[in-house]
Structure 1
């Protein structure tokens, strides 16, 4: 049985005098969920946990129960699971309100197998068992619009005005002041709650921003990702704007969530050798490529995620790797003691980072443990490759990706049968909802997708 450790249970709540505490966690879809509890109630439940109905693992993004796949014994009749706070994450969110991130646990004290944060911890522990720690970083991409969320809803999230002007192609400084003020306010809020960030800039699409969080351990970075997106939403609401992390909010450029990763042993970066890649890096690449088709279902979770997979438009479309090659799915950065790393370029902005990290770490673990050798790196452009080269394309539909995950023995072993079966079933349910409830597979972006994904996850 896995035990959860916390630091000084309840002490902050008792000392801070906060009137209320917000409990925070994601569901598998990546939605930031929780509840507000009164300060004394929080202090009394830190050790025992707080009850949540298991429906948080059973509803789709349209608030309908998902069917068509088996429920485990602990699900299906609205029984309770228990949120247990990780007190190391407790912060003052605003005056009178604290916030704490936690995990979901069953009555018998075992982790909920579908809990995204528990799944990352499982992979971190497995990596530690073979002598490694991981450092990760994430690039958050989002699009900000001038209209308020209320106006966006009235318009069906269509025909909105990009904040900052129509300039694209990335890195433009000639943005209107409202765009700069929005991002400056976001950065200020990150500083206030202690989230380390490194940079923000104009991205390819009009109104699009890229925000780089500082590197750290996988759980800490995923926690920062979840809170950063909440902050970006809150700042947009306060300023009368709206922001979306939808994979493709308009018919233009899509949005990604690139993951950078390195491994350490005894504090040294084992991906580094002077004439890299190192042997460990090569095996990690081998594992990432061996699991990429199955992991596609996890890192491209929604219907719209697959609309990004267009040659020459930015996202990778082939199961490839290369040194400094941003057209491949895995980019190796070599030759620097600190900066040698892998960039996993497949995830969309709509991916749940906890689950994405769990899948990526599973691939790395498999590569290192099983000594999986990668194919030759691609030195040319990995888009528009002719057939006959023996290079697989990334699954380009939700059902193809779900089939690949279901058949992947590595991910099934490491992530667990219960998670894999649940995720595959929920993706097939999402596909059915799209095709029976108003989705249009022939549109560049259907109204059904805008209504379902613009605000959530």
Structure 2
């Protein structure tokens, strides 16, 4: 712990539940010192509530869940940083009192898949492209307006790679990366994105658990900087009725320091098997990659997100893009997740597909060499599930994801999505609107 925090600062405990927002509590330096090895009690209700703080009904309660039982959040001391003067922060995992991980703990799911890859002799390197939309209004004003009719920061026109954004937009992004530098989060680039007020921020490649931590913290940094500057930011999959926003995951596998996705003549055998596993699990993984009602409003042909289950070398219209021909940069880009995804669950789902592919040597179908959008199912093309119900049913029926993520997680997650669907259809959601007021209220600030 930093000397400053030892002397007079608090420590913020951080972890996500299934919904993806950072949860936690602030503790005194003395309290942190007494519990940093044994953990801190969190009520199990954090896995039993939705984004509106309602108790979720309809899923089985295993032995460890019950009448507000305590689970232990044990901090990972390698993540301890000075967040700001007087406040340190640390990320942790959820554990049961018998020393086993909570089966639905997102961060521990990533650990489980990383261990599975290690058993096969591989280590994964991953990176993410985070998209978000910035608005001029303060968060208080945004709340007062129901998160509707807000003013995009930086100008009302949309363009990609444009350098003509106004100074308030540029100042915000410069403040964000300065804060990322101060807390040790490695980033590579930021740029203007397609929609008014939208940005893309690329985090540097690292290990999966480390990327999940950096991803979750980066969203927190972007929120805090927005609040401090009197603005607001949203990672909602579609914060306006215009463009949506995603979170593309890039992945490669190494052994003995060598990128095993590289081959002189194109995708290596290992890359092909990884692609095969990702495509075999894609319909089920859609439920994880697109977690909320609004997530599915992104799935419009010709607008950016993948709409069909396919892959192609350097094909950005496909769900899985293969980058080949370079011993360092050969990798796969998984283009399905929305900006609203839980970082750890997104990574766990991708790693599960990759691991299934390499262990079972799953060969992918022929790559898509033309545009992957607008292809009809009558031509034998599988469409990405375009509703929460379809995606949940696909996950429920997926034997590979059940094996690699665990039955308890899959059953829990599917039940939570059924609850979300019911809330939308019984509490004021409008499936025929481009973007309903119910969605703006529920998702704009979360995750």
Structure 1 equivalent of residue 82 of structure 2? 92
User: In the alignment, does 2:368 pair up with 1:368?
Assistant: no
Give 1:14 shift.
9.3
The 5 A counterparts of 1:117-132 are 117-132=107-122
Structure 2 equivalent of residue 391 of structure 1? 381
Residues matched between the structures, number: 447
Any conservation in 2 of the 1:13–1:43 contact (CA below 8 Å)? no
User: In the alignment, does 2:430 pair up with 1:443?
Assistant: no
Structure 2 equivalent of residue 6 of structure 1? none
Give 1:308 shift.
0.3
Which whole-Å CA distance do the structure 1 matches of 2:97 and 2:338 have between them?
34
Which moves more between the two structures, 16-25 or 371-380?
A: 16-25
Which whole-Å CA distance do the structure 2 matches of 1:300 and 1:119 have between them?
18
- Could you state the TM-score of these two structures normalised by the residue count of structure 2? 0.99
Any conservation in 1 of the 2:5–2:87 contact (CA below 8 Å)? no
Any conservation in 2 of the 1:141–1:208 contact (CA below 8 Å)? yes
User: In the alignment, does 2:106 pair up with 1:116?
Assistant: yes
Which whole-Å CA distance do the structure 2 matches of 1:389 and 1:147 have between them?
47
Q: Secondary structure in 1 aligned to 2:205?
A: coil
Structure 2 equivalent of residue 31 of structure 1? 21
Q: Secondary structure in 2 aligned to 1:443?
A: coil
User: In the alignment, does 2:245 pair up with 1:255?
Assistant: yes
User: In the alignment, does 2:154 pair up with 1:175?
Assistant: no
Structure 2 equivalent of residue 245 of structure 1? 235
Structure 1 equivalent of residue 372 of structure 2? 382
Which whole-Å CA distance do the structure 2 matches of 1:322 and 1:389 have between them?
17
Which whole-Å CA distance do the structure 1 matches of 2:347 and 2:376 have between them?
31
Any conservation in 1 of the 2:288–2:346 contact (CA below 8 Å)? yes
- Could you state the TM-score of these two structures normalised by the residue count of structure 1? 0.97
Which whole-Å CA distance do the structure 1 matches of 2:345 and 2:58 have between them?
22
Q: Secondary structure in 2 aligned to 1:258?
A: strand
Give 1:114 shift.
1.0
Structure 1 equivalent of residue 182 of structure 2? 192
Which whole-Å CA distance do the structure 1 matches of 2:8 and 2:134 have between them?
32
Cα 1:14–1:233 shift into 2, 3 Å: closer
Which whole-Å CA distance do the structure 2 matches of 1:404 and 1:13 have between them?
50
RMSD: 1.0
Give 1:353 shift.
1.2
User: In the alignment, does 2:431 pair up with 1:453?
Assistant: no
Which whole-Å CA distance do the structure 2 matches of 1:48 and 1:304 have between them?
39
Gapped regions of structure 2 (runs ≥ 5): none
Deviations 1:258-307 (A, max 9, x none): 00000001110000011110000000000000000000000000000000
Which whole-Å CA distance do the structure 2 matches of 1:78 and 1:13 have between them?
36
Any conservation in 2 of the 1:14–1:43 contact (CA below 8 Å)? no
Gapped regions of structure 1 (runs ≥ 5): 1-10
